[in-house]
Amino acid sequence: MGKKTGFLEYDRQDSESIAPLERIRNFREFHIHLPEEKQREQGARCMECGVPFCQSGKPLGGMAAGCPLNNLIPEWNDLVYTGNWEQAYYRLHKTNSFPEFTSRVCPALCEASCTCGLHGKPVTVHDNEYGIIEYAYEHGLAAAKPPKVRTGKKVAVVGSGPSGLAAADQLNKRGHSVTVYERSDRVGGLLMYGIPNMKLEKHIIDRKVNVMKEEGVTFVTGANVGKNVKAEDLKRDYDAVILACGASNPRDIKAPGRDAKGICFAVDFLTATTKSLLDSDLKDGKFISAKDKNVIVIGGGDTGNDCVGTSIRHGAASVTQIEMMPKPPQERADNNPWPQWPRVLKTDYGQEEAIAVYGSDPRVYQTTVKEFISDKSGQLKKVRLVRLESRLDKETGRNVMEEIPGSEYEMDADLVLIAAGFLGSERYVAKAFGVDVDARGNVATEPGTHKTNVDNIFTAGDMHRGQSLVVWAIREGREAARQVDEKLMGYTNLE
C-alpha cells in the first residue's frame, strides 16, 4: 500500500463530461480524463483491503459483487499511484484481454464493491483502468507480440464480439492458428454495432483488431456461418470451433397494432445508425431516423438509454422511455447492503441529455404498451399505455406487475424502439452445428464447462450464458479458450 492515508487525504475526482447540450451535436466520446498527477492521486485512494471485494466477482444477492474478470485492482491502483504505468499495464492485461473496451463501457461492478464506498465514495477504478491502457498504447506497451512458436492446431471462432475476440486472442497467444468468422461487414459484433459510437468510438476496436491481426489472428467478414459458410466445412477444417454469436434474438412486444410502420427493435435502430455513421457520416440516409419524431423507447436498461441518446442526436421532437418496473430508490434499501450491486436510481448519459433538451426525465415507470395505434396508411401515430402495480403472487411468492383498471392513456408516437432484452441466440447457427439449446435459447453445456454435446464444438459469451455485460463475455471467452487449449494439448497454461 503505497499511500497509507490516501483514502483520507484525497477526495474522489471523476473524469469530466462534456455538457449535454454540447455533446449531443456529434457521436464522439465525451469524457475528459484527468491529467497524470490527478490520476495518481486517485490511485492513492485505494486501501488495498485485506479482503478486496472489488476483484472478487462472486455472486451476492443474485448479482456479481466485484469484477467478473478478477482483475488485480489493488495491485494496479498502487502502481498508478507510484507512477509505474508499465507494470500497471502488465498486471491489468494479465486478467483482462480488452481494457480499452471495459474502461469505456463496463458499469464498474468493482467500484460498487469498493470498501471506500461503504462510508464514502469508491475509488475511481474505471478511470484508472482507462489511464493505464491509454498509456500503454501511447508508449508502445500494447503493440503486437506474435507467438514465437505455433502448435499446428487450428481453431475457428464464430462471432467477433467480446467473447469471440477474447477466445481468439488467448488461443493465438498460445500458438494455435485462429480464424474468426463474422457475418457483418466489420469486426466487433456487439462492440461495433450494438454500442453507440459516443460510448465506444469504433477506431478503438479497429486499433485492437489490427494488433490481433499483426499477431496472426485471421478475420473473415461477411461470413454468415450456417448460411453462406457451411458448418460442416468448419468442423472438417478445424481442430475445434467456438460458437460466440451472442444473444441476438430480440424480445418482441405482443400488443395489438404491432404491425404498424414505425416500430422496430433497438438493435436494428442502433446498428443502422452506427453503420451509416461509419460509412458516410450519416449522409447516405441508410438508417432509421428519429429526426422531428415523437419517440417511445420500450425498456429501461442500457440499450434503452442508448436509444434515448441516439434519438436525441438525430434531432427527435420528444423522447419517452417506458419501464415496467417501479422507480428504484435513491439510496440502498436495507435488503441491498454493501458489497452487493446497489439497486438504486441511476441517471445515465441519455437521460441526462433528455433532461437538458426537453426539460424532464424521459423515464415513465410502472407502465407498458396496451396498443399501437396507426393511421389509415398503417403508419404509427399513437400508443395506448396502461399503468401497472406490483402484486405478490401467493402461488410463486414473487412480485408480479399487473394492470391498474382505468389507468389507460394515449401518447403521440411516430417511432417506437423495442429495447426489451433478448431471448437467446438465433437458432440457425446452433442447428447448423447440431448443438443442443436450453429452455432459454442458449447453447447448452454441462455446468461449469463450455463444451457442447458435439465433439470439438464449444460455446462462449451471451450465446452460452444469455444477455449480459461485456466483462462477462470476456471472461467467458477466456474460459472457453482454456478448455479448448486443454482439449487440443492435453494441458493448458492459459490464465
CATH of the domain at 236: 3.50.50.60
Strand partners, 218: 179
C-alpha 330/C-alpha 327 separation (Å) is 9
DSSP H helices, 342-389, are 349-358
2 vs 9: CA distance, rounded Å = 13
Together in a domain, 444 and 348: no
Whether 392 and 281 map to the same domain: the answer is yes
Which three-class secondary structure state does DSSP give residue 416?
strand
The pLDDT score that the predictor gives to residue 93 is 97
287-320 pLDDT tens trace: 999 999 999 999 999 999 999 999 999 999 999 9
The list of the chain residues with pLDDT below 50 reads none
> Which residue, of 374, 393, 418, is where some domain finishes?
418
Whether 27 and 54 map to the same domain: the answer is yes
Give the per-residue pLDDT at 114: 95
Q: Which of 31, 35, 22, 25 is nearest to 201 (CA)?
A: 31
What does pTM read for this prediction?
A: 0.96
Whether 162 maps to a domain, the answer reads yes
- Quickly count: other Cβ atoms within 10 Å of residue 348's Cβ: 16
According to the model, what pLDDT value does residue 109 have? 95
* The CA-based dihedral angle spanning residues 211, 213, 219, 222, taken in that order and rounded to the nearest 10 degrees: 70
pLDDT (0 to 100) of residue 228: 96
Distance of CA 3 to the CA centre of its chain: 33
Map residue 318 onto helix, strand or coil. Answer: strand
Residue 220 domain flag:
yes
Of 104, 138, 172, which one is at a domain's C-terminal end? 138
Q: Is residue 494 part of a domain?
A: no
Examine residue 195 and state whether it is found in any structural domain, yes or no.
yes
- Domain encompassing residue 339: 263-418
The set of cell numbers assigned to 375 is 393511421
Statement to judge: residues 413 and 427 lie in one domain:
no
Return the closest-CA partner of residue 373 out of 267, 452, 281, 258. Answer: 258
d(CA 110, CA 123): 9
- Report yes or no on 143 lying in a domain: no
- Residues 24-47 have pLDDT tens digits of 999 999 999 999 999 999 999 999
Q: Are residues 30 and 100 in the same domain?
A: yes
Q: Give the end of a domain, one of 114, 138, 162.
A: 138
**Long-range contacts of the stretch 139-144 (C-beta < 8 A, 24+):** 139/85, 139/86, 141/86, 141/89, 141/90, 142/89, 142/93, 142/211, 143/211, 144/211, 144/212, 144/214, 144/215
In a domain, 495, yes or no: no
CATH code of the domain covering residue 109: 1.10.1060.10
Check whether the bond before 326 is cis (ω within 30° of 0): no
Total number of domains constituting the chain:
3
Q: Are residues 121 and 181 in the same domain?
A: no
In a domain, 203, yes or no: yes
